[in-house]
Structure 1
Amino acid sequence: MIKSFSDLDVYQLSYQLSMSIFHLTRGFPSSEKYSLTSQIIRSTRSISANIAEGFGRRRYHAEFKKFLIYSAGSLEESKVWLNFAKDCHYITMEQFNIYNAKADEIGAKLHRLYVNWKS
């Protein structure tokens, strides 16, 4: 039974992705600190944060779903930043594929949660 946002599988996966990205960006050039590094950390953190905020409003069906949409938007933004990191050669193609696959898995779970959520 789901009692907390942290019980949601999609929350756990998105939080793990955010932490992995945080550690990954420690290897980015310092010149990216206030641009790419900041943006990708912010957008990946926003995925799990929006799930949590929406869960807090779950008794209002439309409100919860709205935050799941915000979360999905942050996920897509994060994928753009991953592309920049790959194309700037800050991450390898293998790393890109791993993180992109995790993002796709989170996206699928977000969609299922959105479609199947009952208030």
Structure 2
Amino acid sequence: MKESFKSHEDLAIFNLAFNTAMTIFELSKRFPVEERYALIDQMRRSSRSVCANLAEAWRKRRYKAAFIAKLNDCEAEASETQVWIKFAVKCGYLEVEQGRELYRTYNQVLSGLVHMINNPNKWIIHF
């Protein structure tokens, strides 16, 4: 399986997380200015962190425990992003359907991450 993946950028889960983080960036431009240092920064940071931690996990595939630990960080950041999405909807900054779609997308990301966490031997580098 891993032979077809040369980089973290070849992973569908990475591209889904990256594209969704960019969607959050664009949507959050419309949030009120008073949310700049609170909700906006938190949503952008956690959504980007999913991607950054996945890139780090990919480079730690030599060490199973380190690989899984970074994937766990990705999972936590994706879940955190879902919380910020719920706040954005409840505050009226995102339409309900936009929020639902973003939340569903992060459920897909989480599903992929859990699959990788539960099946690390498919991904780690064997010497």
TM-score over 0.5 for the pair: yes
Give the number of the structure whose alpha-carbon radius of gyration is greater: 2
Residue 24 (structure 1) aligned to one of 16, 22, 27: 27
Matches of 1:30 and 1:59 in 2, distance apart? 44
Residue 5 in structure 1 maps to residue 39 in structure 2: no
Q: Note the alpha carbon deviations across 1:1-47, whole angstroms, 9 max, x for none.
A: 11111111111111111111000100100110111000000000000
Residue 113 (structure 1) aligned to one of 112, 116, 123: 116
Aligned to 2:37, what secondary structure does the other structure show?
coil
Structure 1 portions without partners, runs of 5+: none
What is the RMSD of the two structures over their aligned residues, measured on CA atoms?
0.7
Percent identity over paired residues: 34
Matches of 1:117 and 1:6 in 2, distance apart? 18
Moved over 4 A (4+): none
Normalising to structure 1: TM-score of the pair? 0.97
Residue 74 in structure 1 maps to residue 54 in structure 2: no
What corresponds to 1:49 in structure 2?
Answer: 52
Aligned to 1:3, what secondary structure does the other structure show?
coil
- Matched pairs, number: 119
Normalising to structure 2: TM-score of the pair? 0.91
